[in-house]
Amino acid sequence: MRHTISVLVENKFGVLARVAGMFSGRGFNIDSLNVAPTHDPELSRITVVLKGDGSSLELAVRQLRKLINVVEVLDFKEGQAVSREMILVKVKADNKSRSEIMQICDIFRAKIVNVAKASVIIEATGTEDKVAALLDLLEPFGIIELARTGVLALKR
């Protein structure tokens, strides 16, 4: 089963290693991990997407709450959070394919943020499904490079 966990932590050295280590020590495979400061420079939010059964996840969440520097832990159930992912993707683009790529970008509300002679860089934000659908349509043109943020989520 897939789970999205949001962990609000104090912005201190070693906190990320303790949180990630706790998940790996419990046998969870992390699908996505995102860490960034919040509006309060003293705090950071760690968003983790992982797979595992519910009972071992409950134990892991309880263990997380006991860790030093952890302020809040939320396990988002289906529909409890708004989640998004951002990608930057460099795609092969010549004069013939560029207009088709632009049309695909318009459909997905993606932006072309850089144009070169043989490629374009596209920025897109959305749900994991939307990002996957965009990447499926761009694949035939030739994806040169791809960078993803991983999932970000906030409680509704």
For residue 29, pLDDT over 90 is answered with: no
Residue in the block written with tokens 């070693």: 14
pLDDT at 55 over 90: no
Quote the tokens at residue 122. 């596209």
The Cβ-side half-sphere exposure at 56, using a 13 Å CA radius, reads 14
**pLDDT tens for each residue of 112-142:** 999 999 999 999 999 999 999 999 999 999 9
Q: What is the pTM of this model?
A: 0.83
